Amino acid sequence: MTLSCILFRMLSRHVAFALALIGLLAPQVAAAQAVPPSPAPSPAPSSSAAGESPTGGAFDMSKLTPEQQAALQQYIIKTSQNPVGNIAVIPLQSNLNFGLGPYARYQYNLNVQPVVPFMLSKDMSLIARTIVPLVSQPPLFATPQQCANPGCAWTFGVGDIQEQLFFAPKTKPGELIWGAGPIFQVPSASPDTLGTGKYSVGPAAVALVMPGPWVMGMLATQLWSFAGKANRPGVNSGLFQPFVNYNIKGGWALTTAPIITVNYNAPGNQKWAIPIGGGGSKTFKLGDQPMQLAVLYYTFVQKPVTSPQTNLRISFSLLFPIKRGFDLKEALQEAGVTP
């Protein structure tokens, strides 16, 4: 079977599932935007339309100058690239991994990772990021002779689910943006060969700056296992994701966001997986719905045997700018345009 046939079968196998997830998650995100996080009274909105969304609300977009409209669109795009930004995102991240295992096999991984911010107060937000991995792969260590007749069956299922929580204070334009909190991982894998079999917990943190057309920063997490199946090895792993986005006109951006992982329990040169590469993204609207498509390609300069040689990452995201806490005047000032 040719590689193109394999890719077509794998992608078509998950399209219906991905579309169903969008239909399921989108109403929940909309509800999270619409419902106030607390019944406590809040200050009345100012005349600058604070608390309204750039896609709807009290102010009239048609009254903005073309320069202001372009700046506002750029602000929304940069906010979508900020892991702790005031925007809800439903990304479907397809990872086509090539060259896994000692026999250089292919794996497909779809990460469904909705990101929803909640305003705890006017000075603090909580960003909840859930990662649900769906994995389809052949047996990585079966020999070609074992797979020759009748063939090796592929395994498809859910991996271990993660929940990342970032408490992010409000910052002024030009200041360092940051967030920190806990990360939890549960042994939800089915079949369990797709996961660690352990309950794990640890810290997560992100920091970034957004000067001009740039969005640059680093996200890091650490997991330690504390319970789970006794016959599975313990978890002591880290993840580091530097990201750089350079935004250009028309909603286009050049980007790199390699996911560097380390398994501190692995022996010798099997600890680190380090990819290098990048790609581009395009933010656009379909009707009134903002969305984003990104394509990135990475090759691994250091890897354990269970990591791929190369990775093609295709991400499709729905963007939901949050209505609460939005200040038009502040957004235009941050974009460098006079309100």
- Please name each of the domains of the chain with its CATH number: 3-334 (2.40.160.40)
The 10s digit of each residue's pLDDT in 112-153 is: 999 999 999 989 999 999 999 999 998 888 888 888 777 788
**8 A C-beta contact, residue 118 and residue 37:** yes
Distance CA 91, CA 251 (A): 17
Q: What's the one-letter identity of residue 251?
A: G
Distance CA 53, CA 125 (A): 17
- Residue 174's pLDDT is what? 86
The 10s digit of each residue's pLDDT in 153-208 is: 899 999 999 999 999 999 988 899 999 999 999 999 999 999 999 999 999 999 99
The 10s digit of each residue's pLDDT in 217-242 is: 999 999 999 999 999 999 999 999 99
Quick one: tokens of 289? 């719905």
**Count of helices and strands (H, E) across the chain:** 4, 15
- Residue 88's pLDDT is what? 94
Name the strand (E) or helix (H) holding 76. helix 66-80
Which CA distances in Å does 258 have to 31, 37, 123, 279? 32, 34, 31, 11
pLDDT over threshold 70, residue 28: no
Dihedral over Cα of 227, 231, 236, 238: its sign: negative
**φ, ψ of residue 67 in degrees (nearest 5):** -65, -40
The 10s digit of each residue's pLDDT in 29-67 is: 444 444 444 344 444 333 333 334 444 444 455 677 777
pLDDT over threshold 70, residue 103: yes
Task: Specify the DSSP class assigned to residue 45.
Answer: P
Residues with Cβ within 8 Å of 270's Cβ and at least 6 positions away in sequence, in order, are: 263, 304, 305
Quick one: tokens of 204? 């997560």
| Averaged pLDDT of the chain | 83
When mean pLDDT is compared across 62-66, 76-80, 295-299, 332-336, the lowest value belongs to 332-336
Distance CA 332, CA 339 (A): 6
Q: Which residues pair with 295 in a beta bridge?
A: 280, 314
- Residue 30's pLDDT is what? 47
Distance CA 25, CA 209 (A): 30
Q: What's the one-letter identity of residue 26?
A: A
Q: Which residues in 99-130 are b (16+ Cβ under 10 Å) and which e?
A: bbbeeebbbbbbbbbbbbbbbeeeeebbbbbe
Q: Which residues pair with 116 in a beta bridge?
A: 128
The 10s digit of each residue's pLDDT in 278-320 is: 999 999 999 989 999 999 999 999 999 989 999 999 999 999 9
Distance CA 196, CA 95 (A): 20
Q: Give 65 or 259, the one with higher predicted confidence.
A: 259
pLDDT over threshold 60, residue 74: yes
The residue-averaged pLDDT of 252-270 equals: 96
- Residue 1's pLDDT is what? 45
The closest of 250, 269, 254 to 307, measured between CA atoms, is: 269
- Residue 51's pLDDT is what? 38
pTM attached to this predicted model: 0.80
Distance CA 81, CA 189 (A): 29
Peptide bond just before 242 cis, omega within 30 deg: no
- Residue 69's pLDDT is what? 74
- Residue 62's pLDDT is what? 64
